[in-house]
Amino acid sequence: MLRNRKALFRRSALLLPILLLVFATFLYLYLGLPAGPGDLETVIYSTAMGSQEAAATFKFEFVPGFFKQSEADTNPDEFDNAKENFGIIEREFETDDAVTKHWPVWRRLHRYINHLNNQNRPLDIFYKVLYFGRHGEGYHNVAEAFYGTKAWDDYWSKLDGNGTMYWFDAHLTDVGKQQALAAHDFIEAQLNTTTHGMPAPESYYVSPLYRCLQTANLTWGNLTLPDDKRFTPVIKELLREVLGEHTCDKRSTKTNITTAFPDFIIEDGFSEEDLLWKADHRETHEEHDERTKELMTDIFSRNPNTFVSLTSHSGAIASHLRVFGHREFKLPTGGMIPVLVKATRSS
């Protein structure tokens, strides 16, 4: 009798994993099987990062009328953040009163957005001002300019370097470092409460690629910031540049990143090796935008802060603007753009 029970237990132990696999397959098939390579990578990433927990669905849209970069008549090629107070539009807000109407526009904007969030949070509507920063010039940028975009895309981008220059997980050039330091000086002037009074970010997110880690450190690292807004960067895997083929967009190992940037926080579930980059597939706009939506859903779901800094890439910033319905606004290396984003939770 005891022998039969042991045999039955062994069969049950073998059967349980099979049943779990069948059940998981059913969930993927009927609750959202990935349709393409990018979606599959997202599922793999989400599972590895432990973010498959009843994720909310958001609609993201930029809010016009607050920043000149969002206006159709603003020329990106001629726009100067330093001369334009980072693009904020001088305007009145419904929260202005006899006293606050004399405050600097950034301070009044902060008050107004707090009002919007307090008023709309019960409706599952949330507002954030996102400060996007593109990394400074990297060695891959120099190589593409030297060889030309076609030769770069067809051949050179698939190599780690050319013998004299190395661009795998590209680092900043000396010019790129100076661009990041120039961004530091610009932000320092913007945060000055006696002039512009721009609110400091309450959260800092950074792409794991080396050039962005360098840029974020040089831009934000030595600023005098309020105690509750210290530069405490969090590395986010989904904030990366377009995935695949180009070796400059393949990241270093987690160990190397931690060694080089020990003060940066790496999000939970971050893999040792790069699991997203594929040598034979370049991420499409549609795939990238799905990744961006997942990132924004994560940030809006988990982070209550209003002013958020994101240091990333030209392609990543372009993807965010597409997801928000914002006009295209190309940034030079080291460039920045603010966007007021409204997120409406639908489930």
pLDDT at 52: 43
Strand extents, DSSP E, 168-279: 203-206, 233-235, 265-266
Q: Decide the pairing of beta strands 336-345 and 58-62.
A: antiparallel
Query: What does the pLDDT look like over 128-177, one tens digit per residue?
Result: 999 999 999 999 999 999 999 999 999 999 999 999 999 999 999 999 99
Q: How confident is the model at residue 347 (pLDDT cuts 50, 70, 90)?
A: low
pLDDT score of 27 more than 60: no
Q: Which of 137, 241, 283, 287 is catalytic?
A: 241
Q: What is the mean pLDDT of the chain?
A: 88
The continuous run of DSSP H or E covering 295 comes out as helix 285-302
pLDDT digits (tens, 9 = 90+) for 136-147: 999 999 999 999
φ/ψ of 11, rounded to 5, equals: -65, -40
- The per-residue pLDDT for 30 is 37
pLDDT at residue 125 is higher than 60: yes
Is 135 labeled as catalytic in the residue annotation? yes
Q: State the pairing for strand pair 203-206/307-312.
A: parallel
CA separation for the pair 276, 244 (Å, rounded): 8
Distance CA 75, CA 72 (A): 8
Q: Which of 316, 315, 263, 338 is nearest to 144 (CA)?
A: 315
Q: How far apart are CA 85 and CA 81, in angstroms?
A: 6
Is 326 catalytic? The answer is: no
> Which has the higher per-residue pLDDT, 112 or 38?
112
The residue written with tokens 């910031």 in the block is 225
Higher pLDDT, 30 or 339: 339
pLDDT bracket for residue 23 (50, 70, 90): very low
What would the pLDDT profile of 284-300 be if each residue is shown by its tens digit?
A: 999 999 999 999 999 99
Tell me the three state secondary structure of residue 137.
coil
* Chain centre distance of CA 90: 28
Please tell me the predicted confidence (pLDDT) of residue 205.
99
Average pLDDT of the segment spanning 293-322: 98
- Report pLDDT for 55: 63
Distance between CA atoms of residues 23 and 82, nearest Å: 56
The model's pTM: 0.85
Amino acid in the structure at residue 338: P
pLDDT at 31 over 80: no
Of the residues 41, 110, 135, 245, only one is catalytic, namely 135
Asked if 202 and 113 count as a contact pair (C-beta separation under 8 A), the reply is no
